[in-house]
Structure 1
Amino acid sequence: MTHVVTNACIQCKYTDCVAVCPVDCFHEGPNFLVIDPLVCIDCGVCIAECPVDAIAEESDLRPDQMDFLVINADLAQTWPVITASQAPLPDADEWADKPDKRHLLITEAPA
């Protein structure tokens, strides 16, 4: 089982989770983070650190979040690993509580 970054991270990209990850399983995209399921050790320390509750255990995903299993696995293969906290996106606080952001996800690898 793995942990999964879900819809709530889109347009926010808080990186509090990255700072506590003992195995560097997070990858960074333009407006979202993902967890590499092949690297994640299921320790769960990242869940409590996310200020927008964007990380869930695979077994706790709601049906409308299941596509994020594939999104995380696929994008982790092309996005670079992120190993340290950095500032969130400039308007992250404005997006933090907005639902249904899936259509805003940018999947291209960062330059």
Structure 2
Amino acid sequence: MKILVVSDNHREEKILTEIVQKMGDQVDLMIHCGDSELAPDQEPMSNFKAVKGNNDYGLSYPNELVINAGQEQLYLTHGHLQRVNFSLTPLMLTGQEKGASMCATDILIN
């Protein structure tokens, strides 16, 4: 399974549109780890499984998701609530608690 992970485009629709156009048919799953600052039903965000980032004020994304990624479970979050800037341990522990074998945040951990 091929997974595309992006985050932090901060209202830049154009870059996400280009990513979807160039990569959308080459991957099985597109993930956005937050700070899009775009509405969930707005193109191009409707193409992504997405979570809320610390700049996604008033948007209805969840803070975290657990999704099927082929044979694996993927825990998806922006990372600010787990304070990933200081340590990845809380992120990994939360992912394990949720039954995930992979975690995606501003960086991907496997």
Tell me the TM-score normalized by structure 1: 0.30
Q: Which has the higher strand share?
A: 2
Q: Which has the higher helix share?
A: 1
Tell me the TM-score normalized by structure 2: 0.30
Higher relative contact order (CA 8 A, sep 6+): 1
